[in-house]
């Protein structure tokens, strides 16, 4: 390991990051996406701000950067994946829940190293922590349906 608490794989150190480090990365990425929704600041500025303003010693930095940049880069495509599973127009979805669902959609699509159940559970937990009273039910419904489309082989073995 390089610095204390850095559990990102290092050259010569094939260990996997800790689940808590990824959980913190997801939480910060979701907050960054939420901030981007309102500020329209460049994603690189938001990333830099988060790197300065937060204790990143127990965050999977590579994961944080991947999901923050990836969701931003593919937002239109992710929205097209999500929309069929929404119970309201995209513009009416709470910004916190939208950030969580976009992040989950990105993980389901690109991060096959993360089991679909983990993606859904992490989304639910973020919605309980940051979203509205019933937001976790919405997030669960959308990500569950999306997982059946994007991770068909994995979800068949439920």
Q: Collect contacts of 60-63 with beta carbons under 8 A, ≥24 apart.
A: 60/7, 60/8, 60/17, 60/18, 60/21, 60/22, 60/24, 60/25, 61/6, 61/8, 61/25, 62/8, 62/17, 63/8, 63/17, 63/21, 63/22, 63/25, 63/26
Per-residue pLDDT, 32? 96
Q: What is the DSSP string of 71-124?
A: HHHTHHHHHHHHGGG-SS-GGGS-HHHHHHHHHHHHHHHH-TTS-HHHHHHHHH
pLDDT along the chain (158 residues), means of 10: 38 58 96 94 95 93 96 97 96 96 98 96 97 94 97 84
Question: Which among 146, 32, 45 is positioned nearest to 95, based on CA atoms?
Answer: 32
Query: What's the confidence (pLDDT) of residue 40?
Result: 87
Q: pLDDT value at position 124?
A: 98
- pLDDT at 74 (0 to 100): 97
Fold adopted by 19-151: N-utilizing Substance Protein B Homolog; Chain A (1.10.940)
Of 63, 58, 62, 29, the closest CA to residue 46 belongs to 29
> Is the pTM value of this prediction over 0.75?
yes
The whole-number pLDDT of residue 12 equals 35
pLDDT value of residue 88: 94
């Amino acid at each position: 390991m390089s610095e204390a608490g850095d559990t990102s794989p290092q050259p010569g150190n094939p260990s996997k990051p800790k689940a808590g480090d990824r959980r913190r990365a997801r939480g910060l990425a979701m907050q960054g996406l939420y901030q981007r929704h309102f500020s329209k600041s460049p994603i690189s500025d938001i990333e830099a701000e988060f790197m300065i303003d937060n204790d990143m010693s127990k965050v999977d930095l590579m994961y944080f950067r991947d999901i923050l940049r990836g969701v931003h880069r593919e937002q239109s495509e992710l929205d097209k994946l999500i929309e069929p599973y929404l119970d309201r127009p995209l513009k009416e979805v709470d910004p916190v829940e939208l950030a969580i669902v976009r992040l989950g959609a990105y993980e389901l699509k690109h991060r096959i190293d993360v089991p679909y159940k983990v993606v859904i559970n992490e989304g639910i937990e973020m919605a309980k922590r940051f979203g509205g009273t019933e937001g976790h039910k919405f997030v669960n419904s959308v990500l569950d349906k999306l997982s059946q489309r994007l991770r068909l082989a994995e979800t068949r073995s439920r």
